[in-house]
Chains A and B, each alone.
Chain A
Amino acid sequence: RKEVEQDPGPFNVPEGATVAFNCTYSNSASQSFFWYRQDCRKEPKLLMSVYSSGNEDGRFTAQLNRASQYISLLIRDSKLSDSATYLCVVNAFDLGSARQLTFGSGTQLTVLP
């Protein structure tokens, strides 16, 4: 089983649509969770951290379910500029680990005009 698994995608949605990405992680001891965004031929950029209580940043809402080891990202009112690959990221919780991260394989989103 992969440490971090994401929806396979790709997702092709019309502008204005709401789209949700899901992610599961295998290590119940993980403490930090993130969504990164990666544009084509660019580096990953931190989109948002995911907190236990859920958190929102404008059109983006992230939620965490520790019991199910499940993370989600909801994008409302999709814009063309939201087209990118979204990476689910979890801290690699090994004793002595120097703050390492494990990346999911990513879900590609294309927002269509």
Chain B
Amino acid sequence: SAVISQKPSRDICQRGTSLTIQCQVDSQVTMMFWYRQQPGQSLTLIATANQGSEATYESGFVIDKFPISRPNLTFSTLTVSNMSPEDSSIYLCSVGGLGTDSYEQYFGPGTRLTVT
């Protein structure tokens, strides 16, 4: 596995503002993903962060709302734009391609976002 860190670990933001979450991995990884976990719910994939190209978004998520960067194989950012209270959630990055099964994913500690 890899050591994955996220910043910030938590934040309280006002509606209409934006927050950028950083995900740093201690080794190069081929795949990075961003998930959202709303209170009491399971994980929903937002997008796959592609190194050197635009992220691939899942149905219901758009680049204008959740712009993603992935400048290299160890780092990615997710921005939550023009926030509303409905964006209050835990945002998690994960990495894949490390285990014996290429589908195995390992998660960062998450960013707990509260929008007021």
A99 within 8 A of B: yes
Contacts of B101 in A (CB 8 A): 32, 34, 49
Give the nearest-CB partner of B97 in chain A.
A99
Interface locus among B42-50, B61-69, B74-82: B42-50
Closest to B45 in A: A100
The answer to whether A87 and B42 touch (CB under 8 A), given A99-B96, A100-B48, is yes
Contact (Cβ within 8 A) A100 B33:
yes
Number of inter-chain CB pairs below 8 Å: 55
A44 close to B (CB within 8 Å) = yes
Q: Which residue of A lies closest to B100 (CB)?
A: A49
- In the complex, identify which listed stretch (A9-17, A18-26, A102-110) lies at the interface while the others stay far away: A102-110
Q: What's the nearest-Cβ distance from chain A to residue B44, in Å?
A: 8
Q: Give chain A interface residues in 74-113, CB to chain B under 8 Å.
A: 87, 91-92, 98-101, 103-106
Task: Check B45–A106 contact: CB distance below 8 A.
Answer: no
Among A34, A43, A92, A105, the residue within 8 A (CB) of B107 is A43
Considering only CB atoms, which chain A residue lies closest to B92 in the complex? A43
Chain A contact residue count (CB 8 A cutoff) = 21
Q: Is the CB of B104 closer than 8 A to any CB of chain A?
A: yes
Which chain A positions have C-beta within 8 A of B100? 49
B105 close to A (CB within 8 Å): yes
Report the separation of the CA atoms of residues A99 and B107 in the bound assembly, to the nearest whole angstrom: 14
Q: Smallest CB-CB separation from B1: which chain A residue?
A: A46
A contact residues around B92 at 8 Å (CB):
43-44
* Chain B residues within an 8 Å CB radius of A41: 112
Nearest to B32 among chain A residues (CB) is A98
Do A44 and B43 contact each other (CB < 8 Å), given the known contacts A32-B103, A100-B33? yes
Cβ of B104: which chain A residues have Cβ within 8 Å of it? 32, 34, 46, 49
3 closest Cβ pairs, A-B complex: A32-B103, A43-B107, A103-B43
